Structure 1
């Protein structure tokens, strides 16, 4: 729900940061892998109840994830400027795939890490299991839609590698909720119950919207 606003607000700062990072040894894929590694270590810290390190690693992981795209676009722009014959070169599909795979891995690992961490302090694991279930349904829904949309001409172009269906629970909300778990771990169980409900509603919304969208003629495929 907040992704479009967040991208608009962060476009300038992330673009400038990508300019600072634009060095030969720094590549978008390496940033993606760095974000994956930081997120996994952060999940381990959360599992151990080390909430301050977990929070720092989580935020650094998401910062790296936010910078790989702007750096990739900056490199493509430079390539187009240097060689007009390259005009129209599409984004790196391999990089987009790696980014999505890394995001799903980090999100799932962090839910498990937080669930384990708070369960040692007496909280229930059940809401975190429900969050994982709703993540699975939500992710499967938009990935299936993206795959079918590409084949049927219903592509949604918002600058990302896949055709994303908007919903109540998007990347920005996920970052905020996972951050809240680390800031107030004594409320993590209650936050997880509420978050599981929100993600479930978002998954339902995506299923209905995607089904209706794919039933339309491709020419009117954008919602």
Structure 2
């Protein structure tokens, strides 16, 4: 919901940093893989109860996630780069709730539900992008991407905000997880309704 609104604010500094990195011969895929390391490390830190460290690593992961796209725009975007980016994103999105699930027994059920909600959201996102590509539908509301980015209530910005809240108030993880799982479900419903409106006229199986 907030991603497209923030793009005009965050893209200029990211693009400047991305151009600087690209001039030093570092490619976008390398940035993606480097960025995945603190993302997974955040989950490990959270599982050990080191929530402040987990927060720092979450924010570092998101910074590098923004930079890989900026480096790609400064050099050359590739389909594999887009694939690698989305796989790394969802590995991170799943890892953080798992970290909280290991941190305390009371977190297990809400963590499982949140991971399931992320899975459904990811499936709806990628299925929509696949059909949009088939029809030649494109958008740059989220910047230049390798495939169609569909807007929803629960997007990257909202996910990071809820992860930050979870790290700041880990004792409230269950509450945040249940609420955000509900937002993810609403996003799936919203995206499905839009898919029905856009794709129902296609008779191809």
State the TM-score, normalizing by the size of structure 1: 0.84
Deviation readout 1:172-216 (Å, 9 max, x if unpaired) = 101111111111111111111111111111111111111211125
Question: How has the CA–CA distance of structure 1 residues 157 and 12 changed in structure 2, closer, same or farther, with 3 Å as cutoff?
Answer: closer
Q: In structure 2, list runs of 5 or more residues that go unmatched.
A: none
Q: Secondary structure at the match of 1:125?
A: helix
User: Take 2:3 and 2:201, find their aligned partners in 1: how far apart are those partners?
Assistant: 25
Q: Secondary structure at the match of 1:167?
A: coil
Residue 188 of structure 1 is matched in structure 2 by 173
Residue 2 of structure 1 is matched in structure 2 by 2
1:156 is displaced (CA, Å) by 3.6
Q: In structure 1, list runs of 5 or more residues that go unmatched.
A: 77-90, 218-223
Asked if 2 retains the 8 angstrom alpha-carbon contact of 1:43 and 1:109, the reply is yes
User: Take 1:21 and 1:152, find their aligned partners in 2: how far apart are those partners?
Assistant: 35
- 2:135 equivalent among 114, 127, 152: 152
Residue 64 of structure 2 is matched in structure 1 by 64
- Are positions 1:21 and 2:21 aligned together? yes
**Mean Cα deviation higher: 19-28 or 130-139:** 19-28
Larger of the two Rg values belongs to structure = 1
User: Take 2:150 and 2:25, find their aligned partners in 1: how far apart are those partners?
Assistant: 34
Q: Which runs of 4+ in 1 moved over 4 A?
A: none
User: Take 2:16 and 2:169, find their aligned partners in 1: how far apart are those partners?
Assistant: 32
User: Take 2:132 and 2:150, find their aligned partners in 1: how far apart are those partners?
Assistant: 11
1:153 is displaced (CA, Å) by 2.6
User: Take 1:10 and 1:216, find their aligned partners in 2: how far apart are those partners?
Assistant: 37
User: Take 1:94 and 1:140, find their aligned partners in 2: how far apart are those partners?
Assistant: 19
